[in-house]
Amino acid sequence: MLISIIITTRNSSSYIKKTLDAIVSQTFQSYEVLVIDDASDDISELTKIIENYSAIITIRVIKQRTKTNASVTRNIGIKNSIGEIICFLDADDIWRENKLEVVAKVFDDFKNESTIVFHQSLRGTLNDINAGKGKIVPETGPATNNIVDYLMNEHGVIQTSTISINRKSAEILVFDESLPRHQDIQFCFDAYKNKVNFIFVEQILSNWIILDRASNAHTKGANVDFCLGWINKNRSVLTDKNIVNYLSNVLFLIAIKEKAFFRTIPISVALLGCNSLIAWRKFFILVFSRVLKVFKRKS
């Protein structure tokens, strides 16, 4: 069994060595590494680093001449991969040495089914993790195979560097290249729509490295209009409860930062259906609590 490891990079030469060292140390050694670079300014440095590793592992770089986004580069990686299993890895994250071995064993039981495997990671800065202060995410896996409810209602997390897919999944799934944000969530939503199996491994198999503590959905390209459009895009699989939780955890926080909170209220009301009194009750409680916070900030 060959595993294809797809790493997307953008100006990552200062930290990608730790990521590659973790691959070299894997207990499962049947793999290829595809580094898809998104028009980095440090491409010369990255190329030299990759050349040094090419003597000990199967690795190659595919260079983009113009900047796109991570979805585009991941899709390029999928198209150029030959492994029976594909594992995604961000250039700043670090796998545990048994990551590939565990994933390969899980996929042995799902050879003939479209399947996504994901696992727990330890999230934090490199200093936090080295000091044993990282946070385990997610704490639990999905209660059912409804991955939408898991991500929207159950505080579920499926981070890109924890995602592995088999070739049958790769034949029907791609990352949505139109999205500047929510790319991994959308990938999971699309998998759910295509009835792909989700298998959760309750084991920490990677370190999710935070390079910038100030980074959040807003700084990574999400704004009010994007969030509203994303809800509409996925309305066929989102329940009222899903939407209310998204409003609470993402949209309203961004709206407050953009000083667009009151503008979003009537639009949010229009998005909700009228079938769930519980969802409506939660929505109005949510709006009231956010309004109080807005006025407290102004006073």
**pLDDT (tens digit, 9 = 90+) per residue, 81-126?**
999 999 999 999 999 999 999 999 999 999 889 999 999 999 999 9
Q: What is the pTM (predicted TM-score) of this model?
A: 0.89
Beta partners for residue 34, in sequence order:
6, 60
pLDDT of residue 284: 66
Once rounded to an integer, what is the mean pLDDT over residues 265-283?
64
What's the CA gap between 150 and 134, in Å, rounded? 22
% of the chain with per-residue pLDDT over 90: 73
Does residue 293 surpass a pLDDT of 90? no
Fold of 3-209: Spore Coat Polysaccharide Biosynthesis Protein SpsA; Chain A (3.90.550)
Once rounded to an integer, what is the mean pLDDT over residues 151-159?
94
The domain segmentation of the chain, as residue ranges, is: 3-209, 224-298
pLDDT of residue 141: 96
Neighbours of 293 (CB within 10 A): 13
Contacts of residue 47, defined as CB under 8 A and 6 or more positions apart, other chains included, come to: 61
Once rounded to an integer, what is the mean pLDDT over residues 48-54?
97
pLDDT of residue 248: 82
| DSSP codes joined into one string, 196-263 | -EEEEEEEEEEEEE-S-TT--TTTTT--HHHHHHHHHHTTTT--HHHHHHHIIIIIHHHHHHTT-HHH
